[in-house]
Amino acid sequence: AVERTLSIIKPDAVGDNHIGAIIARFEDAGLKIAALKMIQLTQKQAEGFYAEHKERPFFASLVEFMVSGPVCVQVLEGENAIALNRELMGATNPDDAAPGTIRADFATAVSANAVHGSDSPEAAKREVAYFFSAEEVHSR
């Protein structure tokens, strides 16, 4: 089925000038960019986005990292977009990420892993709505 998923290019990859290369991975795989913006997350926005992780030992450092510089947030649309995006990203820890994946090529650590992608249809719905109004997402 055609799905939408939320993708974030994190501050490490934005700072390292990899926005274009990462977007190209999505487009080359057939995913459409349905929405796109660059933002500086506030502490509250980052905490709210990662609320499900708030009891984890790495929560504070995760939030600190996510507000350390601008991020590029996009909605990817296409057949099987949620799983396809996760395949393109590779494993959360770049040490475990398959060769040729975004995290293998652009991430340096589990805490600075270049990209985020929704992990389920429920998460995708919540995460897309967290950053974009309905009018900002374009079916294409």
The catalytic site residues sit at: 116
- Taking the complex as a whole, the smallest distance from the CB of residue 107 to ligand CMP amounts, in Å, to 9
Structure tokens belonging to residue 86: 């996760």
Length of the chain: 140
Asked if 2 and 126 touch (Cβ cutoff 8 Å), the reply is no
Sheet holding 32-39, edge to edge: 32-39, 71-79, 2-9, 115-117
> What is the residue type of 20?
G
37 or 53, CB closer to ligand CMP? 53
- Taking the complex as a whole, the smallest distance from the CB of residue 59 to ligand CMP amounts, in Å, to 8
80 is in an annotated binding site: no
Tokens 């290019």 found at: 9
- Taking the complex as a whole, the smallest distance from the CB of residue 139 to ligand CMP amounts, in Å, to 26
Residue ranges binding ligand CMP (CB under 6 A): 53, 58, 61-62, 92, 110-111, 113, 116
92 is in an annotated binding site: yes
53 or 138, CB closer to ligand CMP? 53
Tokens 């799983």 found at: 83
101 or 113, CB closer to ligand CMP? 113
Asked if 137 and 75 touch (Cβ cutoff 8 Å), the reply is yes
| Known binding-site positions | 10, 58, 86, 92, 103, 113
| Known binding-site positions for ATP | 10, 58, 86, 92, 103, 113
